[in-house]
Structure 1
Amino acid sequence: MILVFSLYCCCFAQFYEEERDALYALKHTFEDPSLNDNWNGLQCYRNTSFWDGIQCINGRVTAILLESRNLSGKLSADAFAVFSELVSLSFRNNSISGFIMDFISNQNLKDINLSNNMLIGPIPTSLLALNFLESLQLQDNYLTGTIPPFNQPSLTVLNVSNNQLSGPIPGTPTLRSIGASAYYNNSLSMCDSSNSGTCYYTSSPSESKKKSIATIFLVFDVIGLIAVILLLILYCKKSRKLKKLIQTHHLSEKDHEEELELEAAAGAGGSSCYKNESSIIIQTDEENNNNKRVFEKQEKGNLIFMGDIEGAGFDMNDLLRASAEGLGKGLFGSSYKATLEGRAAVVVKRLRDLKPLSNEDFTRLLQMIADQKHPNLLPLVAYYYSKDEKLLVYKYAKHGNLFDRLHGGRGTRERILFRWSSRLSVVRGVARALEYLHHNASSSQWPIPHGNLKLSNILLDENDTVVVSDYGLTSLIAIPVAAQRMVAYKSPEYHNSKRVSSKSDVWTYGCLLLEILTGRLSVHSAPPGINGVDLCSWVHRAVREEWTAEIFDMEISVQRSAAAGMLKVLQVAMRCCDKNPEKRPEMTEIVRELDSIKGVESDEDDELSMDQSLTDESFSTNASSLMLVGADRKSW
């Protein structure tokens, strides 16, 4: 029995390796940036695949679905020979060239879709041997020759239209059951022996002429429709511009009248107390710049500055006159970059979905946030409070956020590589900021000191110093809203017991470490509409299967001397992601461990070729320590 089991394991491992090598061959043929980034590591784990377009059952590839990806290249005839369990194959809407592949080894195939490509040559007769074939779609290619005599009872969907096929259509029951549209736009004929030898043709001169005339009319209709739409757009733009000119004229007259009243009061020797009346409303100033915004005056109030903050000294009037650029819409509201005349730029965050707070409560909570002073925390410069508008003003971080630094520009020449020394500096800075928040007396009143730690809330200033933003805002947000939007509420303990704590911050920090190490898009950082990966579960499986080297991002895995440090940070991340909050380390311990990691002397001199680094013994030698970290964690 043991011998049989051993033989089975050996055979399974051999199939797994062969399928992985075949998929790597496909990746090298296509040279697609998204596949190059994603097709790494485990291609199958039981009934799950982490590779785009790949589906698995029992660790074997059962479907390859790469549709509408602009893939190009010429596949070899035996490209899919090793995929004996393949059921579905689709390369629809690409630019793949060459001949149709040989499917004699894929006896389980049910669905083949190679439509809308650049395939040439005949339809291979090997398709006749696929007894379970249900759908074959080859339309919109450049295929030539005749149609093989398909007669599988299972084949119910067939389409070879818009090719260059010729000759008679075989009279098999299967092909006769297919509608005439499946053969359209070829030089094919089908003769009905039961009806005096009548033949039906898939194209004729008269049909082509009718099609050409219909196409001409359709083109003229489309051109006419486009012209009407353009005229409407032009009219709307002119109308909008005229309305804004009138509005600007009225506002200018109103401001001029206020200035005359103030000058008259001053000239009479009297005193005048001018109160700024404003809440911030953003609108487009098309006459200056499409990317700028102007602030209009509406209600009473003024900016309240938080202590001795660098960059203070401007008032609400300065902010009203500033041009603004939209930076994005976050969980707590929209943010804008306000450029002040003669001063450094600031960020204005318009808060929304707050719990009911009086002016006194709002001020008290913001003072607690402003009391958090650390080199790795983004300081709160000022705030504004009114019934309908609540604003926070922060210093502007010139070099953007960590999400754009890690994920932006992948696969392009403009991307600046994010090497290990820079990533290690980032994770240290974030850890120090969290350590301060967790042990500062003022922030101890918050249930979770940060609560929404993710890449977009980690900023880089003009010196590339890491500064963490959006800390302490959990005290302003209603719990039902926070539970829907904040990362800490995605932690295992909230799912199990509806409780969060400072250890929830540790869990989010572990998720952030995994995203920085792997370069993969986390489910917690992914923008709306984009699917991310549950990195905690994926990394644990990869370590258990001893694919440790495949975990790390290509940009850092090519650095030999960084391997030991990367593994240590991975150990820290796995401990932070433990499902039991009590087993997670404190931030002070994490800071101490990260500080003990030696950096690399030079990123440029340390780079190796991809193949050398990924098989480097430094990974496999230390992988056993990672296995010990995750060995007793059945709750993953």
Structure 2
Amino acid sequence: MGCSLHFFIHLLVISLLALRGLVFAQNGIQEAEREALLALADELNNSFLHNNWTSLNCYNIVMTPYWYGVKCTNGRVAEVVLENMGLTGKIRPDTLFNLTELSVLSLKNNSISGNMMDFSQNQKLTQIDMSSNMFDGLISNSLPGLAFLESLQLQDNMLAGSIPAFNQSSLKEFNVSNNGLTGAIPNTKVLQSFNSSSFSGNPQLCGSPSYNPCSPSNNDTSSDNSPKPSGVSRFAPILLVIDVVGFIVVVFLFMIYCRKSKQLSNAMNMRSSRPVEGVRAEKAVQDIEVSQRSEGYVESEGGEGGGGERGKLTFMDGVERGFGLHDLLKASAEGLGKGNFGNCYKAMVDDGPAVVVKRLRDLRPLSHSEFAKQLQALADLKHPNLLPLLAYYYSKEEKLLVHKLASNGNVYNRIHGGRGTRGRVPFRWTARLSVARAVARAMDYLHLNPPKSTTTTTTTIFPPHGNLKSSNVLLDNDLVLVSDYSLASLISLPIAAQRMVSYKSPEFQNYKRLSKKSDVWSFGCLLLELLTGRVSAHSSPPGVNGVDLCGWVHRAVREEWTAEIFDVEIAVQRSATHSMLRLLQIAIRCCEKAPEKRPDMAEVAREIENIKVVVDSEDSEDLSQSITDDSMSMSATPSIMNGH
């Protein structure tokens, strides 16, 4: 009996020591996970996470976790979901190594940059969403080794290189679209099961299931040691004759090409004999002139045909402005970049105004009369806050729009350009409120006087503007001008759905519906951009990753961290806080997901007019300087300089 008792006591002591060791080990693992999360917060440099990730209750099995975006199971970190928070910074490859129980990771719709993390220690991952960020470099080779991975979302980043050979049978969702990936898509059963949309937006990617075939060098399955057909030698003389004839044809075509090239070169030398200022958009000029010749257009501005005068600009008010198409072709031209509907050029006409010429592309097939009627409907819209159309040019191959140049760029550049530099003049509250009022007035006018579509080939309902965003709000001295309005009826529907802001509204994404309320939603996004100083994901220029402002602001209000919403350049103006909150309330109502819950533009414009202007010491600089700050427009990104 004594021996049995002695053995039992020893067994109990050993069990207690083992249990204590397990507790210490568990605490050590939890502490390592906590350190990993704190390191992640440091790398993302987000004040909200620093203030929120402070307690230890994330590891309490009974109590509800307190750490925002972190979910724990059995005291271990199982999910990290940090979406639409405007996070920046770079994450080290090994930051997540200690989160070995992690099954869900989502960082979508932020601005995180750098190379992708190493997931080799996170073998229980089932869902990874890193879409709409700024990750670059290669897709991590650790991803194909995740045996339980079900969903991988890497779209809308800056990833390069080839796609690894994913072949996990568990993988059901996969998207790497809109990156810079190259090479052939691996011929694995899993990757070949996804459709082309999972790989779109990578011009250098080839092979099935994309629509871009691989060149023989990328997809050559033949072997140099393969047996040759026994009858090849019999056809050798015939092949030799074909080669000789082909060579003669190539020489003949080359001689013709040289003669034509010399003629074109002489013509270009004659035109370029005078001094040229700035950067001439030669390729654009050549294309326009060649298209004129191919359609029988004469060099002088005259001649009839095609439903209008060939080779001649049509001025919308019927009054010529002292220049014509020939003057534009001779003018010093500076490329302003690519826009949603075509390339834009700043043309400096001799003894004339500086204008912006937009070469339209991706248009619906319109006759000259249909095109003219559509543009006349736009020209009939008269409002001091709408950018007027000066003239247009129509031919089979070329369609041009001519606008006055807005001398101080656009609101996108005024908000975001030159941040952190000494030369930036702060964009204060009074100036931003003036922009909001001017745009509201213009939109109210458009909604009360919507241009009628004169074509009969479509029954699609277009919003009166359709593409309202900060880069389409121009600054011209003390004027605020809304541009690019009502162009949807000219553009082919697939292109419009891909590029125009209204098509990114919740009602189109969910139900393929558009209305005037789609414009109201776009206006709400613009107000949030003015208030927060953040780039909107719905209207960001190519290559710039924005934030889902509507979702981000709704979450900020719901979780009562509203103080972090306002841009630092206006947050310092304490006396204007009440006015900012009123405009924020209007913006949130405009961004309601259900269109019927949004106000009409007339109501919105009226409420913004009633917001009281408060000027304090922080807002004492000249209003026109705050709105138009020349230093910003000069250093702005060319592709979004003049609202295109």
TM-score class, shorter? 0.5 to 0.7
* Higher normalized contact order (CA 8 Å, seq sep 6+, divided by chain length): 2
For the Cα contact (< 8 Å) 1:397–1:460, is it kept in 2? yes
The separation in 2 between residues aligned to 1:520 and 1:560, in whole angstroms, is 20
Q: What is the match of residue 292 of structure 1? A: 280
Flag the 1:375–1:25 CA change in 2: closer, same or farther, 3 A: same
Equivalent residue for 1:453, pick from 468, 471, 475: 468
Map 1:228-247; keep pairs closer than 5 Å: none
Q: What is the match of residue 574 of structure 2? A: 560
Flag the 1:38–1:555 CA change in 2: closer, same or farther, 3 A: farther
The separation in 2 between residues aligned to 1:39 and 1:384, in whole angstroms, is 55
Q: What is the match of residue 345 of structure 1? A: 354
Deviation at 1:317, TM superposition (A): 1.6
Deviation at 1:315, TM superposition (A): 1.2
The separation in 2 between residues aligned to 1:285 and 1:45, in whole angstroms, is 67
Deviation at 1:312, TM superposition (A): 2.2
Deviation at 1:414, TM superposition (A): 2.1
For the Cα contact (< 8 Å) 2:583–2:608, is it kept in 1? yes
Letter in 2 for 1:341: D
Q: What is the match of residue 417 of structure 2? A: 408
Flag the 1:41–1:368 CA change in 2: closer, same or farther, 3 A: farther
The separation in 2 between residues aligned to 1:386 and 1:332, in whole angstroms, is 17
For the Cα contact (< 8 Å) 1:504–1:581, is it kept in 2? yes
Q: Is residue 586 of structure 2 the alignment partner of residue 572 of structure 1?
A: yes
The separation in 2 between residues aligned to 1:252 and 1:556, in whole angstroms, is 52
Q: What is the match of residue 377 of structure 2? A: 368
RMSD between superposed Cα atoms in Å: 4.5
For the Cα contact (< 8 Å) 1:443–1:472, is it kept in 2? no
Q: What is the match of residue 536 of structure 2? A: 522
Q: Is residue 238 of structure 2 the alignment partner of residue 250 of structure 1?
A: no
The separation in 1 between residues aligned to 2:443 and 2:280, in whole angstroms, is 35
Deviation at 1:249, TM superposition (A): 5.7
Q: What is the match of residue 527 of structure 2? A: 513
Flag the 1:407–1:39 CA change in 2: closer, same or farther, 3 A: farther
For the Cα contact (< 8 Å) 2:322–2:352, is it kept in 1? no
Q: What is the match of residue 474 of structure 1? A: 488
The separation in 2 between residues aligned to 1:600 and 1:375, in whole angstroms, is 25
Letter in 2 for 1:402: V
Deviation at 1:584, TM superposition (A): 0.6
Deviation at 1:602, TM superposition (A): 3.8
Map 1:133-144; keep pairs closer than 5 Å: none
For the Cα contact (< 8 Å) 2:451–2:464, is it kept in 1? no
Map 1:494-509; keep pairs closer than 5 Å: 494-509=508-523
Flag the 1:47–1:494 CA change in 2: closer, same or farther, 3 A: farther
Post-superposition CA distance 1:262-298 (Å, at most 9, x none): xxxxxxxxxxxxxxxxxxxxxx999845622343433
Letter in 1 for 2:581: L
Letter in 1 for 2:531: L
| Structure 2: runs of 5 or more not aligned | 1-30, 54-66, 72-77, 93-98, 106-111, 116-121, 125-257, 298-309, 455-460, 622-644
Equivalent residue for 2:317, pick from 280, 304, 307: 307
Q: What is the match of residue 423 of structure 1? A: 432
Between the aligned residues of both structures, percent identity stands at 55
Equivalent residue for 2:613, pick from 587, 599, 621: 599
Letter in 1 for 2:374: L
Map 1:181-330; keep pairs closer than 5 Å: 250-251=266-267, 288=276, 291-294=279-282, 295-296=285-286, 297-298=289-290, 299=292, 300=297, 301=310, 302-307=312-317, 312-330=321-339
For the Cα contact (< 8 Å) 2:469–2:501, is it kept in 1? yes
Deviation at 1:253, TM superposition (A): 8.2
Deviation at 1:68, TM superposition (A): 8.5
Deviation at 1:444, TM superposition (A): 8.4
Corresponding residue SS for 1:513: helix
Corresponding residue SS for 1:376: coil
Q: What is the match of residue 356 of structure 1? A: 365
Corresponding residue SS for 2:334: strand
Structure 2 length-normalised TM: 0.53
Q: Is residue 419 of structure 2 the alignment partner of residue 396 of structure 1?
A: no
Q: How many residues align?
A: 393
Letter in 1 for 2:464: P
Deviation at 1:418, TM superposition (A): 0.8
The separation in 2 between residues aligned to 1:522 and 1:37, in whole angstroms, is 20
The separation in 2 between residues aligned to 1:93 and 1:477, in whole angstroms, is 37
Structure 1 length-normalised TM: 0.54
Deviation at 1:41, TM superposition (A): 9.0
For the Cα contact (< 8 Å) 1:41–1:551, is it kept in 2? no
Flag the 1:483–1:24 CA change in 2: closer, same or farther, 3 A: closer
Corresponding residue SS for 2:618: coil
Equivalent residue for 1:489, pick from 465, 486, 503: 503
Deviation at 1:344, TM superposition (A): 1.4
Deviation at 1:321, TM superposition (A): 1.1
The separation in 1 between residues aligned to 2:114 and 2:261, in whole angstroms, is 48
